[in-house]
Amino acid sequence: ELQFGPKLNAATELLDRWVQDGQGDRPCVQGAGVRWTYAELQAESNRIAHVLIEELGVVPGNRVLLRGANTPQLAACWFAVIKAGAIAVATMPLLRAVELGKVIAKAEVTHALCDAALAGELAAAQLQNPVLRGICHFRSAAPDGLEARAARQPAWFTNVDTASDDCALIAFTSGTTGQPKGTMHFHRDILAICRCWPPHCLRADASDVFIGSPPLAFTFGLGGLLLFPMSVGASAVLLEKPAPDALLAAMAEHRATVCFTAPTSYRAMAPLVGQHDLSSLRKCVSAGEALPAATRALWKQATGIELIDGIGATELLHIFISHTEDTAKPGATGRPVPGYQACILDDGGQPLRAGQVGHLAVKGPTGCRYLADERQHQYVQNGWNLTGDSYLIDDDGYFVYQARTDDMIISGGYNIAGPEVEAALLSHPAVAECAVIGVPDEERGQLVKAFVVLREGHAGDVRALQEHVKATIAPYKYPRAIEFRATLPRTETGKLQRFRLRDTA
């Protein structure tokens, strides 16, 4: 059971506990030229917590923006903020001044810890947003940089005595459409996600070495590459530039055992696997987007490993429907993670039967708390979180993803889920990546249109791809238009931005 007392600090449970238990010498995080044990990460974050409080004037409840690629130094900053009883406001490294400005204004950010390499855009954002009072740069050689300041502080610190329902983290949604929304998560939420999905679906232990691509600013990455390894005393490799070839090379170099990345990244890595020694790899997790059956098959063929798929959301902090590698079913996401309930509702909020497509609704220990956003009442209705996904439950009780509700295509009276057409196209050897959208059509309402990125050495044959789809799924779903592209628009979290294709189509 997930019972937390009234007082709780997530850093005490995930970090200090290991040192207290005499396990401080265990490896904890490495990357960006450093390799820290649990005791070393604790000392680093303790020193930074002193800097925050004594030099920058941070008080409990202040919002502290964090900006940087995945590095142990960023992890130390994250824990320092939590230890100081402040709120971490995680931001994606690629954000520019305009977007950072929105985050600062919306989350009322007063302080920031920023990787010196990414200082420019944040400085520009601060000019427009004076609410941001203090910025300190880490991975900096400057005399007023974080390292120089931290070196003058003691390595011990008593964590601020936070309540279990004090806010610890504000995470912004990646925003496949519209304005980014800030979501608030409490100390107990941070620990709840460590006790739900990982022990049931991942089953990692202290000997594991975690690696992967999602930024720590994306809760998929925060959980998979920092909170989950630390909750079992394992270690993590943090990569600043986790492109598919670099990720494969790092997996081999560090003898990684658990990998977290998005479906497109597995798809891109699969043909390159033979060039690397991945004999250490045991578990591979896919999330962020639907996992096409063809990608699952390619990865299994290349590595022998059955991907663990899971759907998560920033609003719910982490994965809430998933399976283990033993219960994987191609094309299905899985069953509700223990601790969570899920059902499928019609437009009027009534539960649907097996096989019927409707709105995914989820309830559990974590849930949506938007930061001052009127969309709160759309996302949470009658205590259920409505994720905006269309799903059905099959006869085995597995939840089968259809599409983002906004992305469902209605053509000639048929409901067509773009991702199903994408999955069919992806099983053709010429297709590297693809996206399927509905474009306006006088006769059919909408027309199914595919954007395809070809694999190297393959020619674009529209008829062949159309015939392949007709032979794979119900023929009426085939894309009546196909356009070849060199790349597809994606968010920093690896999600297709179908709305951008719709805008240009």
Q: Which stretch binds ligand 3UK (CB under 6 A): 75-83, 297-305, 307-315, 365-373?
A: 307-315
Q: Which helix (H) or strand (E) holds 490?
A: none
> How many chain residues are in contact with ligand 3UK, going by CB under 6 A?
24
**428 part of the interface to ligand 3UK, by CB under 6 A:** no
**91 part of the interface to ligand 3UK, by CB under 6 A:** no
**229 part of the interface to ligand 3UK, by CB under 6 A:** no
Please tell me the distance from the alpha carbon of residue 287 to that of residue 467, in angstroms, as a whole number.
Answer: 30
Please tell me the distance from the alpha carbon of residue 313 to that of residue 316, in angstroms, as a whole number.
Answer: 5
> Minimum CB separation from ligand 3UK for residue 389, in Å?
5
Q: How far, CA to CA in Å, does 502 sit from each of 29, 174, 479, 497?
A: 41, 18, 15, 9
273 or 291: CB nearest ligand 3UK: 291
CB neighbours of 209 closer than 8 A, spacing ≥ 6?
Answer: 234, 235, 236, 237, 254, 255, 256, 257, 258, 280
Q: HSE, CB side, 13 Å, CA atoms: give it for residue 110.
A: 13
291 or 357: CB nearest ligand 3UK: 291
Q: Which residues within the stretch 1-30 sit at the binding site for ligand 3UK (CB under 6 A)?
A: none
278 or 287: CB nearest ligand 3UK: 287
Select from 63, 188, 404, 428 the one that contacts ligand 3UK (CB under 6 A). Answer: 404
Select from 14, 190, 250, 313 the one that contacts ligand 3UK (CB under 6 A). Answer: 313
Q: Which residues within the stretch 236-295 sit at the binding site for ligand 3UK (CB under 6 A)?
A: 287-291
Q: Which stretch binds ligand 3UK (CB under 6 A): 141-149, 226-234, 313-321, 497-505?
A: 313-321
421 or 465: CB nearest ligand 3UK: 421
The SS3 call for residue 445 is strand
Residue 382 CB coordination number (10 Å):
9
> Minimum CB separation from ligand 3UK for residue 197, in Å?
9
Q: Which helix (H) or strand (E) holds 65?
A: strand 63-67
**416 part of the interface to ligand 3UK, by CB under 6 A:** no
Q: Which helix (H) or strand (E) holds 264?
A: helix 263-269
Q: How far, CA to CA in Å, does 35 sit from each of 236, 330, 391?
A: 10, 38, 43
Q: Which helix (H) or strand (E) holds 72?
A: helix 72-83
**493 part of the interface to ligand 3UK, by CB under 6 A:** yes
Q: Which residues within the stretch 201-220 sit at the binding site for ligand 3UK (CB under 6 A)?
A: 219-220
DSSP string, 380-444: EETTEEEEEEEEEE-TTS-EEEEEEGGG-EEETTEEE-HHHHHHHHHTSTTEEEEEEEEEEETTT
329 or 470: CB nearest ligand 3UK: 329
Residue of 186, 266, 182 whose CA lies nearest to 217: 182
Binding to ligand 3UK by CB under 6 A, coded x per residue (else -) over 141-180, reads --------------------------------xx------
Please tell me the distance from the alpha carbon of residue 389 to that of residue 376, in angstroms, as a whole number.
Answer: 16
Residue facing ligand 3UK at closest CB distance: 312
**319 part of the interface to ligand 3UK, by CB under 6 A:** yes
**310 part of the interface to ligand 3UK, by CB under 6 A:** yes
> Minimum CB separation from ligand 3UK for residue 283, in Å?
15
Select from 333, 366, 390, 411 the one that contacts ligand 3UK (CB under 6 A). Answer: 333
> Minimum CB separation from ligand 3UK for residue 177, in Å?
11
CB neighbours of 163 closer than 8 A, spacing ≥ 6?
Answer: 6, 7, 8, 187
Q: φ, ψ for residue 381 (rounded to 5)?
A: -130, 125
Chain center to CA of 414: 32
116 or 343: CB nearest ligand 3UK: 343
> Minimum CB separation from ligand 3UK for residue 10, in Å?
17
Q: Which residues within the stretch 353-392 sit at the binding site for ligand 3UK (CB under 6 A)?
A: 387-389
- Residues of the shown chain interacting with ligand 3UK in the complex, contacts defined by CB under 6 A: 173-174, 219-220, 287-291, 309-314, 318-319, 333, 387-389, 401, 404, 493
